[in-house]
């Protein structure tokens, strides 16, 4: 009799955990973002509540557009809390990122975790045919924007090279390198380790050995 009770208890507990996980994956989670403390997110919150999001499930950020979505505290908490099957609801899709690329990166991150995204004003809802079409169009525009950025960078590099701009690290002063080598060698002679001695002049162990090797006198010279 006791074995049956224990078995039923284990089954009930397992079923309850599975049921709770299923319910957990059916939630509507809201997200709002405003740029400054002077702005009010009440319009966004009211729209989310009207869409069925519970007030306790609304995550908010007050931040400028300079920071990527995943680096914002409110979005970080939302991503940590959201589970497979949940849907994140926003007033407008641009609340999810500082740019089209950032928005698509956030949407894709949620998609890989099984989290849906719905935008009230834009009519974007992956559960509908039109919503999926709009997301596809956004992805196409994001790829176009990415290619434009790449082309602008390449054009800028080409123009700079034509104007004589040199890229890469500036050449090192041989006298400065020799002076630092002398300091490190003296510290090593006094009993310091290579790592500690190199740190005195702002070098790593590898940097010291690189300069030490390249500055050794050539025995055939």
Does residue 164 lie in a domain region?
A: no
Q: Which residues contact 75 (CB under 8 A, 6 or more apart)?
A: 31, 59, 61, 69, 106
Rounded to whole angstroms, the Cα distance separating 65 from 165 reads 32
Greater confidence (37 vs 25) lies with 37
Q: Does any domain span residue 153?
A: no
pLDDT band, very low/low/confident/very high, at 87 (cuts 50, 70, 90): very high
29 exposure class (CB count in 10 Å sphere: 0-12, 13-18, 19+): buried
Q: What is the pLDDT of residues 112-141, one digit of tens each?
A: 899 999 999 888 887 778 877 877 787 777
Mean pLDDT over the full length of the chain: 79
pLDDT: which is higher, 111 or 214: 111
In this structure, the number of other CB atoms found within 10 A of the CB of residue 112 comes to: 8
The CATH number of whichever domain residue 62 belongs to comes to 3.40.50.1390
Residue 106's Cβ-count burial label (10 Å; 0-12, 13-18, 19+) is: buried
User: How many domains, the chain?
Assistant: 2
Both 135 and 180 in one domain: the answer is: no
pTM confidence score: 0.56
- Residue 24: inside a domain: yes
Tens digit of each residue's pLDDT (9 = 90 or more) over 193-205: 999 889 888 889 9
Query: Among 142, 161, 194, where does a domain finish?
Result: 142
**Helices then strands, each counted (H, E), the chain:** 8, 4
Is residue 154 situated within a structural domain? no
126 and 82 part of one domain: yes
Residues annotated as catalytic are: 35
Which residue segment(s) compose the domain that 16 sits in? 2-142
Q: HSE (CB half, 13 Å, CA atoms) of 2? A: 0
Q: Indicate whether 157 belongs to any domain.
A: no
Q: How many residues does the chain have?
A: 221
Mean pLDDT of 66-80: 86
């Amino acid at each position: 009799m006791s074995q049956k009770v224990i078995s039923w208890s284990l089954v009930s507990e397992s079923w309850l955990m599975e049921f709770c996980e299923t319910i957990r994956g059916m939630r509507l989670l809201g997200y709002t973002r405003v740029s400054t403390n002077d702005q009010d997110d009440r319009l966004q919150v009211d729209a989310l509540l009207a869409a069925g999001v519970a007030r306790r499930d609304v995550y908010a950020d007050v931040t400028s557009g300079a920071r990527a979505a995943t680096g914002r505290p409110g979005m970080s908490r939302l991503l940590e809390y959201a589970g497979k099957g949940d849907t994140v609801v926003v007033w407008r899709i641009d609340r999810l990122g500082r740019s089209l690329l950032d928005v698509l990166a956030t949407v894709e991150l949620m998609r890989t975790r099984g989290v849906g995204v719905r935008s009230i004003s834009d009519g974007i809802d992956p559960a509908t045919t039109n919503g999926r079409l709009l997301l596809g169009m956004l992805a196409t525009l994001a790829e176009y924007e990415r290619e434009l950025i790449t082309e602008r960078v390449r054009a800028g590099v080409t123009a700079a090279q034509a104007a004589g701009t040199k890229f890469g690290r500036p050449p090192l002063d041989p006298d400065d390198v020799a002076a630092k080598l002398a300091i490190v060698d003296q510290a090593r002679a006094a009993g310091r380790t290579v790592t500690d001695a190199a740190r005195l002049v702002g070098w790593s162990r590898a940097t010291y050995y690189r300069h030490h090797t390249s500055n050794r006198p050539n025995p055939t010279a």
